Structure 1
């Protein structure tokens, strides 16, 4: 008779795969290679095997308690609607509704920041730039009693996104600053505000690419951070490190010598498994346009 709980059979094998791939994941940082409209920037991490587009769902299904049938249904629906980069597949645009967040800024030498659609830190509205992004309409906007980004879908019923931060870094910038991200660190190159994105400075780069939207190039990075120590918690896999517990999806561009970036955060690996494509779709919807 076949075993009823495949987790006990497959888990040792998956842990062995993680160990082997972890040892092979140390590799030199590579410079961006342009491949037409989309370019590979980097794929460097000692734990990047856990984010592999093919192995991650299987590994998480084993290491994290979920309902297998429900997870499979959600994964199937996600693969039907979204491409791996989070963009909608051709022909399904009308089937999914999104809420657009849009606001204006005037360029400044100081840090400007918008969190979850609200300007913070004395950031003022303006008319010279229009910034926008979209997130699924089924996620709460925070005005109906539920927390913002709360996904009421069956099987989720939780916040799909921790926070969405859009900022303009202080001072002037050019594309060379973006290109340095693979050598000096993404958070440092993009001058991420430490007050809200401090963990990004210790996060691993999982992957990156360059894409064109409109007349601008956007540098997109997938990053993830793990706790320094998980002690005796259930997250300790006995591998010498803890699994990621914070994912950062970034998209950055330079417009009129100023750098603009969106950071989409998820701090729940179970939610990441269900909503990763939609979170990437939020990131890929980020647009900065000069209006004057």
Structure 2
């Protein structure tokens, strides 16, 4: 059996008895950094073999780990902090284990994205967990552009991002430029730790604040959903459809999303989307 084990995101008191027992009883614990997980287990008086599993070795490790699972071993997968697979390694292993018929279960626990969402004061559902934006400015702008295109096509959801503290001000400025300077947002920092902070405001206000006050620690950014937009005219309808198609939506999906967002008849939206697609957008 493969067990996914959530670990504390800062406060060691959040390690659940089930999580501890799952790792104590495992034949081995797979972890991003053996030093981090080893220290966590040592505090609890637990000694168990540790196997590094991270983005650089996961592909190579999967066949070996499947052999161990097939032989009847119990393996636990733990992140350095939080819930495995959530912007952390393990996805390849989980998919391979499921495909091989290996039982996969999980011990739920701390998750920074969900905690930040509940503390943000923004609509908690629906929400979209984006994870980390690309590091480079051009790629980051392109990813935010795709999200904005989806919003113009009808997406109405709270967005949740992870970000490194030294990139926070740049990312907030890019979000303000692409998603809207007045969009309500929150920055949650050092959750469950001594200096926990949740700062709320518009994207422009938060970008300005963190440009003057560099952030430290682990950061989650929560951005509220966009406001409903006015009904689309013909030019605006075409613009929205082009954005949706450019974002990778099919003609049918683009038409449905834009029709839902604008109130335009779906048949009309589909006809325009089809014409734009055939014309090369």
Shorter chain as normaliser: what TM range?
A: under 0.3
Higher relative contact order (CA 8 A, sep 6+): 1
TM-score, normalised to structure 2's length?
0.24
Higher helix share: 2
Q: Which has the larger radius of gyration?
A: 2
What is the TM-score normalised by the length of structure 1?
0.23
